A = this chain, B = another copy of it.
């Protein structure tokens, strides 16, 4: 089910959108200010953000920019401002679409469908990864080593996701931290050290001499299949 984050300071609009979207089969999360929206987007996976520009705390464009620092989630802007400048600013900041109030619900839904059509994951086919010492099923969340199932925690999985989906490529510590914990944790390289050690202990044949999760000192980590 696609999860939509709706951000608006008007409780009536928020309620109306929530009901309409849910009736059309979407999951809905709401926020009535910019900070809450950014926080929510960092915590739950979101398919689309529907964003009102007129927020009480932060300017809407600012929300777009800060969201774009670490996320590619599509953003559909709602706004009472008809001015061309406002539209250009929001779109260039990283928004994907812009509707002016008052808007028709049918149009909003159609534009949401158009956006989602494009972002639908090309293939959630079984993402299987195999190395010389273990196998992973990313979509099924299963790990196997020497025939024995290995239990991994949620955080360990999300780290694996990022690393394994970019094999042999260097993943910066910042990248990992912002993808897993959110942009506010971009400096907590402590976490990475702890979790990389756990992953190695659970998956590597010789945790002290890793051959698949390689650390590049001063930069980040790299997955070697």
Contact = CB atoms under 8 A, between A and B. Distances in A.
Contact of A141 (B107, B114, B216): B216
B118 A92 contact: no
A25 interface: no
Given A118-B118, A170-B142, A219-B141, A92 B113 contact: yes
Contacts of A97: 97, 114
A114 B96 contact: yes
Contact of A84 (B74, B88, B106, B217): B106
Contacts of A208: none
For this complex, into which size category does the number of interface residues on chain A fall?
A: 35 or more
Interface string A28-60: 000000000000000000000000000000000
Interface in A165-179: 166, 168-170
A106 B84 CA distance: 7
Contacts of A91: 107, 110-111, 113-114
B170 A141 contact: yes
Nearest to A75: B114
17 contacts: A84-B106, A85-B106, A87-B104, A87-B106, A87-B110, A88-B106, A91-B114, A92-B114, A94-B117, A96-B118, A98-B111, A118-B118, A137-B169, A140-B168, A142-B169, A153-B218, A154-B217
